[in-house]
Structure 1
Amino acid sequence: MPIPVVNGAQLMCSFGISPAPLTVPPTKRTLIGKQPVAVITDMLPLVNIGSFGMCNSLANPQVAAATSAALGVLTPMPCVPAPAGPWVGAGPSPLVGSLPVVQNNCTLTCAWGGVIQVIAPGQFTTQTG
């Protein structure tokens, strides 16, 4: 069952080397566990999506230039996420305002070829029994 993603969720890019936090603005948002819920337009680089440390994608012009200067030895460069569109998911999603909510099964494509995934949604449900 998909879980809504909130401020503080952890993300990972397939070409990055470390997780990055998701920052969701608190303005006019539905809250879960006192944290604002993310919507599919929460994808601005270094505003909503932090850096994944270093980028390993040769499609990234900085990585390509550094690798060329190193005579073809892959040379990672600092990551600046470059989302190629909004978050996409695998099914219907609840709405906040008129926008679908980001769920833990949603992905975001980076212009440098990476796929950004949610590795921790920022909120969890516990069950006692």
Structure 2
Amino acid sequence: MAKVYVIRGAILKCSCGSMKSRIMIPVSHGVYAAGQPKLNINDYKEGENITHFGFCNKTCGGDTREKGYDSKGNQVWRCKAKILGPWQGGQDNDLVENAPGLTDNCVTHCKYGGEISIEHHEQTPK
């Protein structure tokens, strides 16, 4: 299957999270697909590009995540994603502002053990 470029608003998922999220880009790199800005592998920053994934099912000791409770009263950890580095698997032969373009096969990782991936690139209907 061909790789598809990821654009602003694409749907992300974390292997440890309870909900999906959307990737954002505050300022366009100047390259567009389907009328939306394309992203590159450096668009991985917490709070700027990636927000949170609801509750985290990892219970790492000594971290700063906030405790919360689910609808059944069970203690859970609120997701505070700590991204370890750029997306892996970008399109090296098509640069977006001097970095490999972000494609739907890319992944990055959270310090708490989650693998973050692209669930839908948003260029076509799901």
Counterpart code for 1:47? E
1:24-39 aligned at under 5 Å gives the runs 24-39=25-40
Judge conservation of contact 1:93–1:103 (CA < 8 Å) in 2.
Answer: no
Equivalent residue of 1:76, what SS? strand
TM-score normalised according to structure 2 size: 0.82
Aligned residues between the structures: 118
TM-score normalised according to structure 1 size: 0.80
Rg bigger for which structure? 1
- 1:70: which partner in 2? none
Q: Gapped runs of 5+ residues in structure 2?
A: 68-73
Counterpart code for 1:22? I
Judge conservation of contact 1:45–1:83 (CA < 8 Å) in 2.
Answer: yes
1:5-84 aligned at under 5 Å gives the runs 5-59=6-60, 61-62=63-64, 75-84=75-84
Change in Cα spacing, 1:76 to 1:27, as seen in structure 2 (3 Å) is: same
1:42-85 deviation per Cα after TM superposition (whole angstroms, max 9, x unaligned): 1111210121011111226246x95xxxxxxx832111211101
Change in Cα spacing, 1:101 to 1:90, as seen in structure 2 (3 Å) is: closer
Structure with the largest fraction of strand:
2
Equivalent residue of 2:53, what SS? coil
Q: Gapped runs of 5+ residues in structure 1?
A: 67-73
Root-mean-square deviation (CA, aligned residues, Å) is 2.4
- 1:2: which partner in 2? 3
Change in Cα spacing, 1:56 to 1:31, as seen in structure 2 (3 Å) is: same
Equivalent residue of 1:94, what SS? strand
Q: Which moved more, 1:5-14 or 1:89-98?
A: 89-98
C-alpha deviation, 1:93, in angstroms: 4.7
Judge conservation of contact 2:88–2:108 (CA < 8 Å) in 1.
Answer: yes
Judge conservation of contact 1:56–1:75 (CA < 8 Å) in 2.
Answer: no
- 2:104: which partner in 1? 104
In structure 1, what is the Cα distance between the partners aligned to 2:115 and 2:82? 11
Q: Flag as ranges the 4+ runs of structure 1 deviating above 6 A.
A: none
